[in-house]
């Protein structure tokens, strides 16, 4: 999966879009910032306007990227969220939800407790051997305090940290940026469901290269995270949700 890098092409950006994009700036709460960004996207794109009418406010306020677990706001600490992204890698939402439910039932998503479960218990819960190794390395090498420090870093620095971890790539970084840190300008081209939805709506169903999908996200800057969520939501509504990249 290719890394998507930000550019300065922010046409039609409202004068306070910097405040809207970054949760640590300004006094507006997340819901207000989402509503203001939706209004910008709606003025810019008829498709986004129709998505907003159909699906409402993007649920970036949830600490879960799974549309099958979207019944109201939740909170997940940074470590638990990263473990969640590991479980969802290369799995359908239903399979990942089942494994995550068994893991949460077995132990809190905290490094010492997860490490104490041992490989046999993790395998019985449903984790593959590569994911068990990744989880063990994460538990031994990264502390919750280190993850908490990501809150104040810019998107590129957060991405470098996460993709530098064994077993984590751009998709995990995208999910962390969008749903845990609430960053507004992420375009997760490595997600199969989003890419499929983009191709259906913006390319008449043609199969596109990753570079082409990246380019199709440019008109939605600096609010690509919201556009991505709408494409996800529509894919989920069509019953097409499949494995994550």
Every domain of the chain and the residues it spans? 17-61+184-237, 78-180
The pLDDT, as a whole number, for residue 73 is 57
Residues of the chain with pLDDT under 50: 1-19, 23-27
pTM for this entry = 0.84
Cβ burial, residue 200 (10 Å; 0-12/13-18/19+): middle
The pLDDT, as a whole number, for residue 38 is 97
The pLDDT, as a whole number, for residue 108 is 93
Task: Find tokens 């998503």 and name the residue.
Answer: 109
The pLDDT, as a whole number, for residue 14 is 37
**Is the separation of the CB atoms in 96 and 66 below 8 Å?**
yes
The pLDDT, as a whole number, for residue 77 is 87
Q: Which of 101, 61, 67 is nearest to 84 (CA)?
A: 101
Please tell me the CATH code under which domain 17-61+184-237 is placed: 1.10.1670.40
78-180 architecture in CATH?
Orthogonal Bundle (1.10)
Long-range (24+ apart) CB contacts under 8 A made by 106-110 are 108/80, 109/76, 109/77, 109/79, 109/80, 109/83, 109/84, 110/79, 110/80, 110/144
The pLDDT, as a whole number, for residue 11 is 32
Please give the distance of CA 46 from its chain centroid, rounded to a whole number. Answer: 24
């Amino acid at each position: 999966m290719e890394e998507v890098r930000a550019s300065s092409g922010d046409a039609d950006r409202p004068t306070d879009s910097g405040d809207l994009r970054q949760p640590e700036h300004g006094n507006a709460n997340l819901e207000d910032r989402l509503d203001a960004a939706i209004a910008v996207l709606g003025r810019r794109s008829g498709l986004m306007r129709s998505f907003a009418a159909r699906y409402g406010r993007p649920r970036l306020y949830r600490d879960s990227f799974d549309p099958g677990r979207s019944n109201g706001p939740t909170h997940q600490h940074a470590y638990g969220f990263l473990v969640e992204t590991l479980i969802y890698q290369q799995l359908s939402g239903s399979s990942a939800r089942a494994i995550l439910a068994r893991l949460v039932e077995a132990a809190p998503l905290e490094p010492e407790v997860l490490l104490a479960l041992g490989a046999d218990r993790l395998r019985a819960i449903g984790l593959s051997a590569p994911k068990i190794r990744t989880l063990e390395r994460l538990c031994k090498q990264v502390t919750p305090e280190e993850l908490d420090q990501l809150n104040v870093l810019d998107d590129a620095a957060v991405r470098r940290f996460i993709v530098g971890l064994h077993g984590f790539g751009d998709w995990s970084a995208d999910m962390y940026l969008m749903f845990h840190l609430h960053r507004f300008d992420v375009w997760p081209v490595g997600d199969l469901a989003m890419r499929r939805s983009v191709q259906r709506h913006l390319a008449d169903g043609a199969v596109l290269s990753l570079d082409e999908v990246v380019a199709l996200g440019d008109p939605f800057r600096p609010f690509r995270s919201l556009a991505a969520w709408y494409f996800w939501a529509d894919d989920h509504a069509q019953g097409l949700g499949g494995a994550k990249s």
